[in-house]
Structure 1
């Protein structure tokens, strides 16, 4: 009798293992998320992805670059599950090309526009006047994003125009294809000044903020997020829900972002 019981229990255990194995295999082989995100989001989203995975989520792979460049990659069929832009214009472009799911779009974060200098610079503060910029720049250039395609460059041009500085500063610009690249010129002392986001400046100990642009000198720096039109990964919506949750809010605030109300 005992032999029959042992045989039954062994068979049951084997059968249960066989039934549960495909589930575990499916969980362990679930495809990672692919997120196209503005370069200024790197530190915050890297931290958020680690927290998400630690709470039982999947791996998240990022492609960081200028927002419009990413939107154009989506248009050309680049595979991604989520698009996070540093401006409304780039997200609008993605929407116009049917690259995102418009019903999934929402505004999550807000940022500030600042002027930075190297931590070794003797300049401690900067007035928004032509003479002040001329003195601080010396024979060097002002580093920022490309003013026609990169969000930080667009914001910078708008602010400089509003403050009456554009005509004097335009010939001195050194433009990059994303905000982190623009900041790196200042961090390496290759440009005396740069215009970047406050969160980027906070992420690099080699630069310091010497001026903050008035909020009314440019459009609000808003970060919209959305699912891409081609995403088939069910974890994508879960990651977006996590980014909007109270659990993610401290991650963004630590980097200097303002989290917008739901």
Structure 2
């Protein structure tokens, strides 16, 4: 109830509905599916605009944007993908913001009789699900953690790569693998897995979700409005309820 009140209050700051409403397309990391779908009606109420979402791996969404897909905003699960889009001149000037943070957790099926307690315990598993560690942010983060822990060389052959982090979670839910490394926010919304342990923040790569309005969409004003909406106190309260953290550190601009 408190989050709803905060959201309603913060919407006042976005102003009245525009004279001419439009529909925008938002590319967003798969791990933000639930929270953005919850926020969608409030955005329309606040601005008069509507949005439709394309959820998926940030790597795939960035590729589509670079190929000319007409997205109006992009919420990525890592900075590198947004950096590539920004270097290509596709980010509206001044619109980029580091919006959210997340944590990695190791999950097992709800009925698992045993569960690993740390990175070293993972070597006893037969199969471990990750979002594709070659390109998908959640998998890249997980691989970075396991490399730092000195476990990647022995675990690599046991990894079952998934299309995105939600697909990795689904593999654990279905019992097709012994465990998976996913975001804490994804684990929290599943009733079919339990968290075996949370990856220590000091051992994991820094996880940042940047958001930006893009230049090649059909409704750039909707992209700007949507990113502004995501920064309101009310929207941030909803993100927090879903388990996302805030990002306060300043970002260095991407290398040319």
> Which TM-score applies when normalising by structure 2?
0.85
Structure 1: gaps spanning 5 or more residues? 1-23
- Is residue 143 of structure 2 the alignment partner of residue 157 of structure 1? yes
Q: 1:158·1:217 contact (CA, 8 Å) conserved in 2?
A: no
Tell me the CA shift for residue 58 of structure 1. 2.0
1:57 shift after superposition: 3.1
Residue aligning to 1:99 = 90
Counterpart residue number, 2:210: 224
SS in 2 for 1:55: helix
Compute the displacement of 1:205 (Å): 1.1
Deviation at 1:128, TM superposition (A): 2.1
Q: Which residue of 1 aligns with 2:254?
A: none
Q: What secondary structure does 1:70 align onto?
A: helix
- Unaligned 5+ runs, structure 2: 1-16, 250-256
Cα RMSD for the two superposed structures: 1.8
Aligned twin of 1:86: 77
State which drifts further: 150-159 or 90-99. 90-99
1:246 aligns with 2:237: no
Asked whether the equivalents of residues 31 and 233 of structure 1 are also in contact (C-alpha less than 8 Å), the reply is: no
- CA deviations on 1:191-227 (whole Å, 9 max, x unpaired) are 1100010001011111111111121223210000011
Q: Which has the higher contact order (CA 8 A, sep 6+)?
A: 2
Answer whether contact 2:127 2:159 (CA < 8 A) is retained. Answer: yes
Q: Distance in 2 between matches of 1:128 and 1:76?
A: 38
Q: Larger C-alpha radius of gyration, 1 or 2?
A: 1
1:197 paired with 2:187, answer no
In the alignment, which residue of structure 2 is the partner of 1:233? 220
Q: CA 1:154 to 1:190, structure 2 compared with 1: closer, same or farther past 3 Å?
A: same
Mapped pair 1:126 → 2:113? no
Displacement after TM superposition at 1:125 (Å): 4.9
TM-score, length-normalised on structure 1?
0.83
In 2, distance between residues paired with 1:125 and 1:102?
Answer: 46
Cα contact 1:102–1:226 (8 A) shared by 2: no
What corresponds to 1:167 in structure 2? 153
Partner of 2:243: 256
Matches within 5 A, 1:5-20: none
CA contact (8 A) 2:47 2:225 kept: no
Take 2:221 and 2:36, find their aligned partners in 1: how far apart are those partners? 19
Moved more, 206-215 or 190-199: 206-215
Give runs of ≥4 in structure 1 deviating > 6 Å: none
What CA distance in whole angstroms lies between the structure 1 residues aligned with 2:148 and 2:48?
Answer: 45
